[in-house]
Every structure is written in C-alpha cells, then in structure tokens.
Amino acid sequence: MITIDDFAKIELRTAKVIEAEDVEWSKKLIKLKVRIGKEEKTILAGIKEFYSPQELVGKIVVVVNNLQPKKVRDLVSEGMLLAVDGEKVVLVTPEKEVEDGLRVR
C-alpha cells in the first residue's frame, strides 16, 4: 500500500508519439520519441508484439514523465508508457482528443 502523498510524486502526462522504430536487437522493444509539451523524450516500450511503430506515430498516450532514466544496452529510456496488461497489451490513451503535455490525475 502507498499513501496519496506517494502517488502524488508520480507525474503522469499526455505525450504525442512523434517517432517510433523497432529496436533490432530486441524481440519486445520499440524506441519512441515523444513530445510532452515543449520537451522531447526517448522511451523504450516492450510493446512490439502488440503494436507496430507505424501505428504509434501521431498517437496521444499517457506516460510517467518523472521516472529516473534507465540505460538498456546503448539506449536510454527517459519515461514509461502506461498500458493495460492482460491477454493483450493496450495503451492508455485519452478518451477525447487532447494536446500533449497535460497533467493526468
């Protein structure tokens, strides 16, 4: 169990996927460049089995924006996509069209 104060430390934001490409040495990873307001970040996401890079470009997603960067081989992931993880992985996206960079709460 975490407290509401612990949860408040997590910065969830809307982000627009502006580039996406397969990570050739991985069976799971796609490398995404996302725009979060005026900022751009690289995020590695283990969603290759469920999404192609082409269908991700232009999509508004929800990301954890203040996650400590993690190096994976020669790449650095600067955030995390939120997704529903069941039989099929489904990205968390806003119900209606919104701009990137908005706070999710």
Contact indicator for 103, 67 with CB cutoff of 8 Å: no
* Annotated domain spans of the chain: 4-104
Contact indicator for 68, 80 with CB cutoff of 8 Å: no
- Specify the pLDDT at position 90: 95
d(CA 67, CA 99): 21
User: Has residue 87 got a pLDDT over 90?
Assistant: no
- Specify the pLDDT at position 99: 97
pLDDT digits (tens, 9 = 90+) for 11-48: 999 999 999 999 999 999 999 999 999 999 999 999 99
- What integer best gives the mean pLDDT of the chain? 96
For domain 4-104, the CATH architecture is Beta Barrel (2.40)
Q: How confident is the model at residue 86 (pLDDT cuts 50, 70, 90)?
A: confident
